[in-house]
Chains A and B, each alone.
Chain A
């Protein structure tokens, strides 16, 4: 896995001068900071999940929080995904604000009844008379050599369900700001962290802030094409944009950050501006969220401004393989995005 991360971009989208006072931290540390600050602010916030206490979480995200907040609020659970989900939902229904961690997002498939049939629908089924303020955190994605059952990107599954909100941060600054917003949400938020990003450094503003859900980040402005990229692909798209810039091509890079609700306005405006759209995600293309983004653009006024068919780049239609080279080739690499961008730029308007 090669990821080049332009450090300076993390706080560009806000344009807020106060945020310039930042500190470098990793994506994992930014998540921990958000958890810690929310726990300090609100006694109703607590954490539960497998090995999040003494162990500090499989990816070390909750390290130190047990020592600071104690067993009551940093709860190690048995390996029981269904009750982790349901327990968080029940606690939320009755006044708490749980943040539950799934060790891998793949394991959320064991909790789908609670997430999809229960949590997502309770408020609606009860005539709008209940609130379910839960955050389900989980690592997704490939790149760690963990093969087919620990590497999936199933964000589209969750985005398909009314009642859920779905968030995928791609930078430390967004991981922090979006998680704070997610914990303040009165609804279930599926917060999907890319496991290959946990150790990535980035600038995070020192002051406390929230990054609103439902607002895309224009990570780089450009006029020749738009690359809309989810999660880690936003980082790869930025690196590709740097390379394209050396050729005089100005690529606009958009990270939707939230899939549900989706910031259609920002996406459509960019498509209209550049006329060429490349959508990139790690999930397989069939049923992938890129299809939804493409459809929204095609059904919008931006359609009349397109100079080429919308292009999608996604994971190969296979489970994630183990062997390192096979694993890399199973999802879009930088060079794949670079090549796709060139193909898109070569297309002539009809």
Chain B
């Protein structure tokens, strides 16, 4: 276990752990606010998938791009988003990332390279391909990490995007965050392939499946793909196998899976796994982990208070922002 840690400086390891705690704390708060009726609409929680978001996005430079999914809070936080502005967005406040116009499914921060969550399955894939083309044409070494789910792997946009990126050698990494269900549809019922990663062969690009609940395994695999993209060798397809603990959205009764299955995956919790790894490697002790966890929950509480204290959008501004 400890050799997995050896390549990364302690500061990096701890910032990864902090991001994972922060995602968990943020989403638990969101879950609670929905339960209490303080948030409206819907939301898609990625609790249990933090290893994928943090492992993959930690490989990026600050100026790299991501495109995300409807289950994107974790991606935003891993990319460095301000959770106060995220919380404000979810509460529909003017101070939110999208001035309350986008909500949970559209949080974006174009200036920091976060090109947005997306309400359409696979909708971000063609856009990520275009961002990569743009970087290539501008002779930039910035890359785009295109995150999508297992459901997206059966959309036409998946095929068109990966194929085009492959023939044009574009600097994009396609990351399939396979949480094993597209809403209620089990991946094994939705495709004949054993893995999504196998499909890479069909496009003539590298493909690899990794344990998405092991943040360091994700980090290692995505690092290689990112370097490849940055070096002008084109796209890769990484599949990160993980699991969401919560339902698809707030209406979900979990009729399509068993409590036992959920419990089994909770035993392989990505945060607990990483904490154990850090403790075993002598990088952290139990008290230190508790401290990090508590700090994350405190930061989320502060973000919530910021959002609560923010103004709603002025109805007079309803028509703004459609055209530049």
Q: Give me the interface of A with B, judged by CB distance under 8 Å.
A: 46, 72, 75, 77-78, 80, 82-83, 85-96, 98, 113-114, 117-118, 122-133, 162-163, 165, 186-187
Contacts and interface: CB of A to CB of B under 8 A. Distances in A.
The 7 A-B pairs at the shortest CB distance, nearest first, are namely A86-B126, A90-B130, A128-B321, A127-B99, A186-B324, A127-B98, A83-B160
B137 A118 contact: no
B126 A124 contact: no
B120 to A, nearest CB: 5
**How would you classify the secondary structure of chain A's contact residues: helix, strand, loop or mixed?**
mixed
5 contacts: A90-B128, A93-B115, A94-B130, A127-B98, A129-B108
A127 B321 contact: yes
Contacts, number: 147
B65 A94 contact: yes
Interface in B100-144: 100-102, 106, 108-111, 115-116, 118-120, 123, 125-135, 137-138, 144
A162 B101 CA distance: 14
B127 A93 contact: yes
Contacts of A94: 65, 115, 130-131, 134-135
Given A96-B137, A113-B120, A127 B127 contact: no
Residue of A98, A128, A163 with most partner-chain B CB within 10 A: A128
A82 B126 contact: yes
A124 B321 contact: yes
Contacts of B168: 75
Interface in B300-320: 320
A122 B126 CA distance: 14
B81 interface: no
A113 B123 CA distance: 7
Nearest to B323: A187
Given A82-B156, A94-B135, A113-B157, A126 B98 contact: yes
B153 to A, nearest CB: 15
Contacts of B106: 125-126
A90 B134 contact: yes
B323 A123 contact: yes
A187 B118 CA distance: 20
A80 B127 contact: no
Contacts of B321: 123-124, 127-128
A93 B131 contact: yes
Interface of B: 65, 67, 96-102, 106, 108-111, 115-116, 118-120, 123, 125-135, 137-138, 144, 156-157, 160-161, 163-164, 167-168, 320-324
Contact of B164 (A87, A163, A165): A87
B131 A91 contact: yes
A89 B134 contact: no
B137 A117 contact: no
B101 A90 contact: no
A126 B102 contact: yes
Contacts of A117: 119-120, 123
Contacts of A75: 168
A109 to B, nearest CB: 13
Contacts of A82: 126, 156-157, 160
Nearest to B103: A125
Given A86-B157, A117-B123, A126-B116, A80 B130 contact: no
B110 A126 contact: yes
Contact of A114 (B67, B110, B115, B126): B126
B311 to A, nearest CB: 14
A80 B163 contact: yes
A126 B108 contact: yes
A83 B110 contact: no
Contacts of A91: 130-131, 133-134, 137
A114 B67 CA distance: 14
B130 A87 contact: yes
B157 A95 contact: no
A95 B102 contact: no
B238 to A, nearest CB: 20
A90 to B, nearest CB: 2
Nearest to A126: B108
Contact of A85 (B98, B108, B120, B126): B126
Residue of B120, B135, B156, B164 with most partner-chain A CB within 10 A: B164
A344 to B, nearest CB: 36
B126 A127 contact: no
A118 B135 contact: no
Contact of B134 (A83, A96, A132, A165): A96
B164 A83 contact: yes
A86 B118 CA distance: 13
Nearest to B161: A83
Contacts of A89: 126-127, 130
Given A114-B126, A117-B119, 14 more contacts: A82-B160, A83-B125, A90-B144, A93-B115, A93-B131, A93-B134, A96-B138, A118-B126, A123-B323, A126-B98, A126-B110, A127-B99, A127-B101, A165-B323
A206 B116 CA distance: 44
B102 A130 contact: no
Contact of A83 (B98, B111, B115, B157): B157
Contacts of A163: 322-323
A90 B96 contact: no
